[in-house]
Amino acid sequence: MKIGLRVFLGYFLIVALAGLLLAQVFVAQVKPGVRQAMEDTLVDTANVLAELARDDFLAGRIGDGAFARSVRDMARRDYGARIWGFPKRASQYRIYVTDARGVVVFDSAGRDLGRDYSRWNDVYLTLRGRYGARSTASDPYDPDSTVMHVAAPIRDARGRIVGSLTVAKPNRAIAPFIERSQRVVLRWGAVLLGASLLVGLVAAWWLSRQLGALRRYAQAVTAGGRASLPRAAGEFGELGRALETMRTRLEGKQYVERYVHALTHEMKSPLAAIRGSAELLEGPLPDADRARFAASVRAQSERLAQMIDKLLALAAVEHRQRLDDPEPLDPAALAREAAEQCAPRLARDALALRLDLPAHAPAVAGDAFLLRQALINLLDNAADFSPHGGAIELALRCADGLAVFEVRDRGTGVPDYALPRAFERFFSLPRPGRGSRSSGLGLCFVAEVAALHGGAAALENREGGGATARLSLPAGER
């Protein structure tokens, strides 16, 4: 199944389910919403009529007074109204009044005079000073025959509740409005669902077309044919450009050219020194000069070997997009192992190494060999710039989810112009007292290892002289 069809079917399923759910919610809310509006109207009506009926009720003429006549006249009135297209000709209200005991003393329908309504919620609650309302079916076998009753208290001059007045209206009176609202919701829901599906169809076609063009381009590149990058929009355009960049780099044009150029440039100096020393060694020389030139050949050849080894290690790291099998590592243990491996070299230069490591540190996830080599490179770099008999500090700080290794020295520091370039490939500074340069790959290797582990490398000068190199790595709970 093509991805466009899968996207469309998934979109169709989501939209259909969402549409059905919303339609059900709206349709289900129409009926209670209309009934709530009707109940609100009945509350107002009941309280107004309770005030109008109070004088006749207190005077004992609620059944034949002015209020009763007005209610009967209202029942005979022809309204002649049309409400949102529905005709309304007569009142559908039923009004009844009870005394303080809950006995009906007035009924506009004329059928329940003298009956005890004290147990109905509308009367029972109202006579006790609470809001009274109920909805009761007039026919137990017909669920659509419910009638809503809302009562209001009748009070005497002292504010005491002496009776109640209830206004009742069949829920069937609002059924046409509910049905029409439900039809409108369903109709427009169907329209919106159809429009959404049309949009989904267009989006799926566009997505399939963009992916198809990129797939054909990738297949052409794989087959070794000449292919131009297809025109694409948005993220697909970015994906196409990324594929083009990857293609160029895989072909090795830029990568090999850059490395060969840089390597040949860096190899010229040691090769020239070796060639010059070899030419001089071919002739007669004093023993002291012969030993000095032989030592130069050995030092420069070691420099070349070191450069090649580090370049291979750096290339291996640069080509890795991610760590294959990262494992939890103790950063303090890594620091101690790196210190042990550097101990002979530091002892040769009479350098002291001071460790400042916490007893317990959160683990870092990564490759032990690469991280250990990165720390060794930092220590070697610090040793190159430290004065004879000086001290180097290797510290570990853990805070804010990071494990930060710091290698500090008290050497000459780094010139301001060199700080931004310290981690560039083949960039190096003359070593104090010797004038020679390193391969310029050590700090670059550290930066690549840090990036591979999701961290960062930094270098800055210290107050009072010297420099501090940092290797920051994400850390978690052990």
Whether CATH 3.30.565.10 fits 323-476: yes
Report the candidate in 374, 371, 378 with the shortest Cα–Cα distance to residue 392. Answer: 378
Report the candidate in 141, 57, 47 with the shortest Cα–Cα distance to residue 98. Answer: 57
In whole angstroms, what is the distance from residue 338 CA to residue 84 CA? 87
Which residue do the tokens 């080894």 mark? 309
Q: 207 phi and psi, to 5 degrees? A: -60, -45
For position 316, what pLDDT does the model report? 57
106 — pLDDT class (breaks 50, 70, 90): very high
In whole angstroms, what is the distance from residue 201 CA to residue 11 CA? 9
Report the candidate in 305, 385, 318 with the shortest Cα–Cα distance to residue 351. Answer: 385
**What burial class does residue 172 get, using C-beta atoms within 10 Å of its C-beta: 0-12 exposed, 13-18 middle, 19+ buried?**
middle
Residue environment code for 363-391, b if the CB has 16+ CB neighbours within 10 A, otherwise e: ebebbeebbbbbbbbbbbbbbbbbbeebb
For position 132, what pLDDT does the model report? 94
In whole angstroms, what is the distance from residue 74 CA to residue 56 CA? 17
The answer to whether the beta carbons of residues 147 and 171 sit under 8 Å apart is: yes
For the chain, report the end-to-end CA distance as a whole number of angstroms: 45
Average pLDDT over the chain reads 79
For position 424, what pLDDT does the model report? 79
Q: What is the pLDDT of residues 79-97, one digit of tens each?
A: 677 766 677 767 788 999 9
- Both tokens of 311, joined, read 């370049």
For position 128, what pLDDT does the model report? 93
Provide Rg for the chain, Cα atoms: 46
Angle at 227 between CA 225 and CA 232, to 5 degrees: 150
In whole angstroms, what is the distance from residue 186 CA to residue 168 CA? 31
For position 28, what pLDDT does the model report? 59
Listed range (158-172, 275-289, 360-374) with the worst mean pLDDT:
275-289
Using the predicted structure, report yes or no on whether residue 356 has a pLDDT greater than 60. Answer: yes
For position 226, what pLDDT does the model report? 47
Q: CATH topology of 3-179 equal to that of 323-476?
A: no
In the chain, what are the domain boundaries?
A: 3-179, 323-476
235: alpha, beta or left? (left if phi > 0; alpha if psi -120 to 50)? alpha
In whole angstroms, what is the distance from residue 137 CA to residue 172 CA? 11
For position 266, what pLDDT does the model report? 53
Residue environment code for 284-323, b if the CB has 16+ CB neighbours within 10 A, otherwise e: eeeeeeeeebeebbebbeebbeebeebbebbeebbeeeee
CATH of the structural domain 3-179, one choice from 3.10.400.10, 3.30.9.60, 3.30.450.20, 3.40.50.1100: 3.30.450.20
In whole angstroms, what is the distance from residue 82 CA to residue 88 CA? 6
100-109, 211-220, 253-262, 429-438, range with greatest mean pLDDT: 100-109
The enclosing H or E element of 229 equals none
